Chain A
Amino acid sequence: MASSSPLDVSCPTPSGAYERIVLGHGSGGRLSRDLLRDVFLEELGATQLDHEEDQSSFDVEAGRLAFTTDSFVVSPLFFPGGNIGDLAVNGTVNDLAVGGATPLRLSAAFILEEGLPVERLRTVVRSMRRASVEAGAAIVTGDTKVVERGKADGLFITTTGVGMVPAGRRLSAKNARPGDRVLVSGMLGDHGIAVLAKRDGIELETEVVSDTAPLSGLVEALLAAAPDARSMRDPTRGGLASALNEIAASSGVGIELDERLIPLRTQVRAVCELLGLDPLYVASEGRLVAIVPPESEAAAIEAMRAHPLGRDAVALGTVVDEHRGRLSLRTLVSGKRFVPMLAGEQLPRIC
């Protein structure tokens, strides 16, 4: 096996002189080491990744840890507004953030398909670094495996994150009470439609860009203004409908939305209309759903709107003491219907 050993670590020569991933990159041997050095250490920076040990360790203050994991299989890997790397970091950061946790550290495990261009991997890893710096949670450990061509679709990533929940903070899907208000931080469904449009070659006059973003800053801003917020979710797979159905079921309350108040871009509306999709089920990857007591609504909205990720924040519904465990919708024409959990998969592989 040909193998070059560039001595200069900062040399951007593709890993081991290969332009594409080969099975040897997952061998644990020399090629694996080259890939680690030339791509992961190079892009993430040695400050993030400790490659000397089989684990990463760090000190934490005494308190409550939050811990979460998520896998990413989005197709295509690159889409308007981001790529699988941004998504993998933001997704896990957001799962920590909506629990009120401050993200601390992340891990990333990669399954690479033989033949993946090394430069594509490099771009993805670079995006992961940028996203992790923005979220304030370094990627400190990871793993790479390679499978034969045809056994994966380019690149799959699993990220895991730990965060710290400040004392006294108890956000939970179980906390919603009748009278509470339902808020969202911005336009819904951009991510799902951006990926779908790219994948299916749907051409729009104005491109829809994924909303993928880390929500920890927005959550902190909201909690500073409304410390009594009850629960938060990021409406990813299954969209707003699934997020709110889960809260309704966990809290044993009903939730009522007004269809007229649901913030949707014209292009998202139009694509949903054309394809017969219900935007209530389309994923966002950088939006926050928050349930707050009515007396905190104004402060929460104001705080979100002052944050760059919450400019279009609105209240769009209320928690009620009827139809417990279910989500209802007052439609555009003021009829009422229920919005059940999604049956089956509306849009596969969008995250």
Chain B
Amino acid sequence: MKYVEEYRDRSAAERIAAAIAAAATRRWVLMEVCGGQTHAILRYGIDDLLEQSVELLHGPGCPVCVTPLETIDRAHAIAMQPGVMFCSFGDMLRVPGSNGDLFALRARGADIRVVYSPLDAVALAEKHPDREVVFFAVGFETTAPANAMAALVAHRKKIRNFSLLVSHVLVPPAITAILQSPESRVNGFLGPGHVCTVMGTSEYAAIAEHYRVPIVITGFEPLDLLEGVLAAVRMLERGEVGAPVQYGRAVRDEGNAESRRVVDELFDVTDRKWRGVGMIPKSGHRFRYEYRHFDAETRFDVHAVETREAAECISGRVLRGIDRPTDCPAFGTRCTPETPLGATMVSAEGACAAYFAYGREPERRLPLVSAAARPEKLGGRNGAFR
């Protein structure tokens, strides 16, 4: 397969891994931000390959994982209403809410459809004018443009029985929250390559500058990830900060202005709760006033829901890079992809699911690098970011 296999070459990988080992004078702690990167790291055993030189922590970049429980419960409340046709991407169906998942609701008679594009949901609304069609709009900056476009299409076609339950989240505020956390052990980041194809690099350059960390904007193939790690390790060794782009074949500094324009037309930025992490200021989207009729939360009045999280689940600590999935006593026993206690065990991009799929076990890991080993000159500064 052209344009893929070149990035999975063993001799090149071994060369870069050797360069990383040669460059690292200590074991650096890097966090890959994006769930797609987490999956590839585990799939190709890159954490194993680099075990002596870097510890890879897995960030909060799995949209399914960080969708708050309240939103899942609201989705369930909406889906159970008579006349509603609830549309979602497939992986949201298995995410546990306070009382089971969407599959369980479907078995009880709710009309829940798996779609592959938000435009499929618009088409369903057009075809079934007597039904209320709701799309569960979950995702990062990469997904938001398509969801915004769906609302815009419905708006232009005057389709009135279509709405979106929006749970868009933004990456930069999450990175900032991790950098501000006293528990964080992160020395540097592999930035989210696909998000930056839309958003460009300026937000990351600003965070890197402010918090004095390297954020290497990185792709998703094994050689991308290894190159990203090498660049980050070299920057850390030299005390450099900044947000260079490893993923140059996809990312332009200015991003995709047209996509951002559509998103800005429909949404403004609001505070958002992240599952397992908590409230992060200015970290999500809500419909602008003039498009508020597309907001399913308003349309169905489901603001007050009582939530109940599985007490045993440590997904919040996993999402913040404090614990690893295998630190959880329920991992692989009471919590598996078939019977997940938390969302990180559901999505293929969730760290727990990736650890499970690739057979990671606690005993083969090196001990955690302690927070105290983090050099003073890096990160940990107080005060909100701009």
Contact = CB atoms under 8 A, between A and B. Distances in A.
Interface in B34-84: 42-49
Given A331-B45, A332-B44, A333-B49, A343 B337 contact: yes
A266 interface: yes
Contacts of A331: 43-45, 222
Interface in A322-351: 326, 328-340, 343-344
A343 B336 contact: yes
A338 B46 contact: no
19 contacts: A260-B10, A273-B1, A273-B4, A328-B359, A330-B45, A331-B45, A332-B8, A332-B9, A332-B222, A333-B46, A334-B10, A334-B14, A335-B46, A335-B47, A335-B49, A337-B359, A338-B358, A338-B361, A339-B358
B37 to A, nearest CB: 14
B338 interface: yes
Interface of B: 1, 4, 8-10, 13-14, 17, 42-49, 222-223, 226, 336-338, 348, 356-361
B358 A337 contact: yes
A276 interface: yes
Nearest to A326: B359
A273 to B, nearest CB: 6
Contacts, number: 74
Contact of B13 (A276, A329, A333, A344): A333
A260 B348 CA distance: 23
A344 B9 CA distance: 31
Given A273-B4, A276-B348, A337 B356 contact: no
A344 B336 CA distance: 10
B357 A340 contact: yes
Contacts of B360: 337-338
A7 to B, nearest CB: 54
Interface in A83-134: none
Contacts of B47: 335
A204 interface: no
Interface of A: 260, 266, 269-270, 273, 276, 326, 328-340, 343-344
A333 B49 CA distance: 8
Nearest to A332: B8
Contacts of B45: 329-331, 333-337
Contact of A266 (B1, B13, B17): B1
Contacts of B43: 331, 337
Contact of A339 (B4, B48, B223, B359): B359
Q: Which are the 4 A-B pairs with shortest beta-carbon distances?
A: A335-B45, A338-B359, A333-B13, A335-B49
A335 to B, nearest CB: 2
A69 B222 CA distance: 43
B338 A343 contact: yes
A270 B1 contact: yes
B99 to A, nearest CB: 22
A256 B75 CA distance: 44
B356 to A, nearest CB: 7
A333 B336 contact: no
A329 B48 CA distance: 12
Contacts of B9: 332-333
A273 B39 CA distance: 13
A176 B14 CA distance: 31
A332 B4 contact: no
A276 B17 CA distance: 26
Contacts of B348: 276
A322 to B, nearest CB: 11
Contacts of A344: 337-338
A105 B337 CA distance: 42
Contacts of A269: 1
A269 B2 CA distance: 11
Given A260-B10, A344-B338, A335 B359 contact: no
A333 B48 contact: no
B1 A335 contact: no
Given A343-B336, A343-B338, A334 B359 contact: no
A260 B13 CA distance: 13
